[in-house]
Structures are given as structure tokens and as C-alpha cells.
């Protein structure tokens, strides 16, 4: 056993469990690829200022949770705690927004890093699949992304999740609400740090999970009562579009999410089978983020869904994904000549798109067949000395146990026919 262990709050993804995570990523990505979203990948670390400006200096992510380090060249970098700001940075840097085909629609898959108190469903290293539609202010885009996320979860078989929806207003109406909320918060018995946060961004206080804070927030002014006519109309169109698509949601007037860049539409996917860590994903519109990080005005919307949390949600509902075996054929050679012949056939099968594996290490028949069973293979190829003399190989159906002798030169054609 190694003297080293995975860092606290992280995990290793190992087979066979890793197949479940890959299946979840694929289920989330599939409807995105079918809807005009192209894949994007950004570095695992970025300039600290990108997150300070974009995510918000008053957020817990920036003040408490970022992994920050200084390079040998003196640059201050941070492991990415989220990917929306890096994606927007990449789009601006590559001038994709100037190609004349807005919105720029992209999706990503990767790890995020936050220094949090480790607990089930909340890790310091976690995986997300996300989507961003950059450069257009259109309620149909907000609705599209909510519908696609809903499709992803339903394709996985999930049923016990809820979609919470709210509007955070815009630069016209939110300042009025901000003032009213600050006046309310100043009259509460809050600690010094929370009062400081209320002065910087009072909406952050609404997102405080501590019971002693939430208890005092009863009667706090609601943003929906301060929305301007334009924001009300925008939000109603989003609601109408997702309703027409058959997507069920709940209006949540206190939903604010944990990042400063959100405007107008904001939403969250929650699963009640996960306890206190019920959020499995979420997102919203972030019309001002581009300008926050030095770019032009680019109204945008996006979401990120947690792969780890989604796997926990599947387990909470007792859903077993139908994951095809990674191996269709397992070759068992008995002797050196058989080893040479079967290895060549396995290589040929792989070239023809058949998933095939091989019994390595000179195992005997019993041990090799155990390995074939563990691999989940549909068929086993067994070649011994007597078979060699007859020019045949034994093809065993691992489900029925039926065994058939076929010519060595017929292996590839026979298996392609059986496997379709």
C-alpha cells in the first residue's frame, strides 16, 4: 500500500464506479450536442482577478474557498472554483463573439476546486458539466437551457428533482431592491461579518444557510415585488416557454444562488433525497459579467450540473444505469502458439470496432475464465493445443454457456455477425 493518500476532501474515481460517472456526463452532454452547443475546455487555473471580479469579492467562494497560489514568475493564480468566468474569458480572448454568429453556444466538462468543509455531497474537488449561451438577450435561450437540463435528468431516469425559478432583476430595478433590503438587514441582530457582507452585496445574506440568520429573514422584502416592467415581462416569457414544453417548476422568491454575476433568470435543480446538500445544479442569466471582466456588453445565460451530486441522486432513487460492458470478447490462450494467434485476432477485432480484451500473464484456464467473467464479456475465445491441431477456436457464449468450435480464420466475421 502507498504511503500517500488522496488529499482531504477529494476522491479517486475508479472502475467500475467510474462508468456511472461517465454515463452521467454523457447523458447531460447529449442534448447539448444536439442543440448547437460546441465543446470548450479551459485551463484548471486562472488569474485570481478573473474570479474576484466575476464571481464577486464578497462571496464565500472568493473570500474563503479558492485555492490561491503564486507562481515562480510572481503571477497570482487560482484553481478554478467555477467555469463560467473562464469560459467567457476564453470566448472574449478568441474573439468568438465577433464572428457574427451570436449567441456563442458552448458546453464543458471538468473539475472545480473549493476549500470547503468536506461532507457527503460536498467535496473540495468535484466534477461538473456546464453549458453557456453567450451574446444574446432572449428568454428562449433561458428556457432552452432549463429544458435541456430537465431532459438530461429525465433521460437518466431521475424523477424526484425539483426546479426552483426566480428573477433577480437588472441594473434598473435591482438597486432599488438592494436599498430596501439593506435597510431591513440593518435592523437585524447580525454578526459583524454578515453586516459587512450586507453592505457589499445584501443578496448574499439571503443565501446564508445558518438557521440563526434565516430565522431573522422572515418578512424580508422580496425582489419580485421590485421588478421593473421589462424584467417582469422577460420572466413571464421564460415561465410560459418552459411550461409549454411540459417542464414543471416552482417559483422561489428567495432564490439568489451563490455568485454575484447573476441577473434576471436564476434557477436551481434540487433533489430532496440528498439531505442538506440538496442542490444538484443550477444557473441563470449573467448579462453584466463580460463587462465586469473587461469585455463588451454580452448578455449571456448558462448552468452547471454536478456529476457527483447527480450520481448521489440516482443512488437515492435506487436507479441502476444500463451501462454496456466495456468488453464484448475476452480471449483465453493456452500455450505460446495460441497466445500469438489470439493476440493477433484480438488486435484485428479492435480494428473492426469490437471491444476485446486478452488474458495476460499466462493464466491457466480456470483463472482466465474468472477474468473473462469479471470483464463482463459476452463471448470468450478459448484456444488450446488440441484446437490448434484442428484449426479451430472454442467460442463460448458467457450467458448461455453454449460453446461452439469455429475456424480460426472465421473468428472476426463470426463475432461481428453475432454482435451486430
pLDDT by residue (tens digit) across 322-367?
888 889 999 999 999 999 999 999 999 999 999 999 999 989 999 9
What's the confidence (pLDDT) of residue 126? 93
Higher pLDDT, 118 or 133: 133
Q: Go through the chain and tell me how many residues it has.
A: 420
- What average pLDDT does this structure show over 302-329? 93
The CATH number of whichever domain residue 78 belongs to comes to 3.30.930.10
Residue 395: inside a domain, yes or no? yes
Say yes or no: 141 and 165 in one domain: yes
**Side-chain half-sphere CA neighbours of 163 within 13 A:** 27
Same domain, 385 and 243: no
The total of other beta-carbon atoms located within 10 Å of residue 316's CB is 15
Q: Is there a domain that residue 200 lies in?
A: no
Query: Which residues are CB-contacts of 350 (< 8 A; sequence separation ≥ 6)?
Result: 356
Q: 126 and 260 share a domain? A: yes
CA nearest to 146, candidates 226, 35, 224, 227? 35
Do 374 and 234 fall into the same domain?
no
Rounded to whole angstroms, the Cα distance separating 36 from 132 reads 11
Question: What pLDDT does 204 receive?
Answer: 78
Q: In this structure, what are the phi and psi dihedrals at residue 263, rounded to the nearest 5 degrees?
A: -135, 155
| Shared-domain flag, residues 343 and 300 | no
Could you tell me the pLDDT band of residue 149, with boundaries at 50, 70 and 90? Answer: very high
DSSP assignments along 202-216, one per residue: THHHHT---HHHHGG
The rounded mean pLDDT for the chain is: 92
**pLDDT of the residue at 258:** 59
Question: Per-residue pLDDT tens for 251-273?
Answer: 998 888 656 678 899 999 999 88
Helix, coil or strand: residue 21: helix
pLDDT digits (tens, 9 = 90+) for 91-110: 999 999 998 889 999 999 99
- Quick one: 95 exposed, middle or buried, by C-beta within 10 A (0-12, 13-18, 19+)? exposed
CB 382 within 8 A of CB 397: no
Same domain, 150 and 272: yes
Q: Is residue 264 part of a domain?
A: yes
Q: Determine the pLDDT at residue 59.
A: 66
In a domain, 322, yes or no: no
Q: Which of 316, 349, 379 is the last residue of a domain?
A: 316
pLDDT band (50, 70, 90) for residue 411? very high
Indicate if 247 and 133 belong to the same structural domain: yes
Match 444538484 to its residue by C-alpha cell: 280
pLDDT of residue 54 exceeding 90:
no
**Distance of alpha carbon 303 from alpha carbon 102, whole angstroms:** 18
Distance CA 146, CA 301 (A): 10
Q: Out of 55-64, 147-156, 276-285, 350-359, which region has the weakest mean confidence (pLDDT)?
A: 55-64
308 plus 365 within the same structural domain: no
> In this model, does residue 158 exceed pLDDT 70?
yes
Domain count across the chain? 2
Question: Would you say residue 9 lies in a domain?
Answer: no
pLDDT, one tens digit per residue, over 210-246 is 888 889 888 889 888 999 999 999 999 999 999 999 9
57 has a pLDDT exceeding 70: no
297 and 353 share one domain: no
pLDDT of residue 175: 87
> In sequence order, what are the residues at sequence separation of 6 or more whose Cβ sits closer than 8 angstroms to the Cβ of residue 140?
241
Q: Tell me what pLDDT residue 260 has.
A: 65
End residue of a domain, out of 261, 285, 316: 316
What is the structure's pLDDT at 219?
A: 86
- Vertex 208: Cα angle to 206 and 212 (nearest 5): 105
CATH number at residue 344: 3.40.50.800
Whether 205 is in a domain gets the answer no
Contact in structure between 126 and 112 (CB atoms under 8 Å): yes
Is there a domain that residue 343 lies in? yes
Q: Are residues 89 and 161 in the same domain?
A: yes
Residue 369 lies in domain = 329-419
Average pLDDT of span 400-410: 94
Span 298-305, average pLDDT: 96
Select the more confidently predicted residue: 261 or 81: 81
240 and 378 together in one domain: no
- Stated as kind and residue range, the H or E segment containing 128 is strand 125-134
Which of 256, 281, 316 terminates a domain? The answer is 316
Whether residue 346 lies inside any domain: the answer is: yes
In this prediction, residue 398 has a pLDDT band, given cuts at 50, 70 and 90, of very high
From CA 235, how far away is CA 229, in angstroms rounded?
Answer: 10
pLDDT exceeds cutoff 80 at 15? yes
- Closest of 244, 327, 259 to residue 62, by C-alpha: 259
**pLDDT-based confidence at residue 140 (cuts at 50, 70, 90):** very high
Set of cell numbers at residue 255 = 432564490
Residues 124 and 45 in one domain: yes
- Among 260, 284, 262, CA closest to 165: 284
Amino acid at each position: 500500500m502507498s504511503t500517500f493518500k488522496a488529499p482531504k476532501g477529494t476522491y479517486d474515481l475508479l472502475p467500475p464506479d467510474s462508468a456511472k460517472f461517465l454515463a452521467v456526463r454523457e447523458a447531460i452532454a447529449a442534448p447539448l450536442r444536439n442543440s448547437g452547443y460546441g465543446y470548450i475546455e479551459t485551463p484548471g487555473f486562472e488569474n485570481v482577478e478573473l474570479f474576484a471580479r466575476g464571481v464577486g469579492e464578497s462571496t464565500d467562494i472568493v473570500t474563503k474557498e479558492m485555492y490561491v497560489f503564486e507562481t515562480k514568475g510572481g503571477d497570482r493564480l487560482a484553481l478554478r472554483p467555477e467555469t463560467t468566468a473562464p469560459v467567457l474569458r476564453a470566448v472574449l480572448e478568441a474573439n468568438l463573439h465577433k464572428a457574427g454568429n451570436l449567441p456563442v453556444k458552448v458546453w464543458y466538462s471538468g473539475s472545480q476546486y473549493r476549500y470547503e468543509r468536506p461532507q457527503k455531497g460536498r467535496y473540495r474537488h468535484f466534477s461538473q458539466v456546464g453549458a453557456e449561451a453567450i451574446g444574446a438577450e432572449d428568454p428562449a435561450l433561458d428556457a432552452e437551457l432549463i429544458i435541456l437540463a430537465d431532459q438530461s435528468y429525465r433521460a437518466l431516469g431521475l424523477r424526484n428533482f425539483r426546479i426552483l425559478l426566480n428573477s433577480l432583476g437588472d441594473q434598473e430595478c435591482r438597486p432599488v431592491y438592494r436599498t430596501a433590503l439593506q435597510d431591513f438587514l440593518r435592523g437585524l441582530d447580525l454578526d459583524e461579518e454578515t453586516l459587512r457582507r450586507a453592505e457589499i452585496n445584501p443578496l448574499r445574506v439571503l443565501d446564508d444557510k445558518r438557521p440563526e440568520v434565516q430565522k431573522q429573514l422572515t418578512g424580508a422584502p422580496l425582489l419580485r415585488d421590485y421588478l421593473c416592467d421589462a424584467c417582469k415581462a422577460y420572466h413571464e416569457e421564460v415561465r410560459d416557454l418552459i411550461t409549454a414544453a411540459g417542464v414543471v417548476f416552482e417559483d422561489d422568491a428567495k432564490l439568489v444562488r451563490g455568485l454575484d454575476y447573476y441577473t434576471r433568470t436564476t434557477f436551481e435543480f434540487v433533489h430532496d433525497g440528498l439531505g442538506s446538500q440538496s442542490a444538484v445544479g443550477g444557473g441563470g442569466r449573467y448579462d453584466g459579467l463580460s463587462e465586469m471582466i473587461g469585455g463588451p456588453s454580452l448578455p449571456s445565460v448558462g448552468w452547471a450540473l454536478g456529476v457527483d451530486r447527480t450520481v448521489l441522486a440516482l443512488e437515492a432513487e435506487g436507479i441502476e444505469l444500463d451501462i454496456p460492458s466495456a468488453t464484448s470478447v475476452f480471449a483465453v490462450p493456452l500455450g505460446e502458439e495460441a497466445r500469438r494467434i489470439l493476440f493477433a485476432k484480438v488486435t484485428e477485432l479492435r480494428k473492426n470496432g469490437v471491444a476485446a480484451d486478452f488474458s495476460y500473464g499466462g493464466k491457466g484456464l480456470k483463472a482466465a475464465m474468472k477474468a473473462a467473467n469479471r470483464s463482463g464479456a459476452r463471448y470468450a475465445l478459448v484456444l488450446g493445443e488440441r484446437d490448434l491441431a484442428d484449426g479451430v477456436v472454442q467460442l463460448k457464449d458467457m450467458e448461455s454457456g453454449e460453446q461452439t468450435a469455429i475456424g480460426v480464420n472465421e473468428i472476426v466475421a463470426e463475432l461481428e455477425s453475432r454482435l451486430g
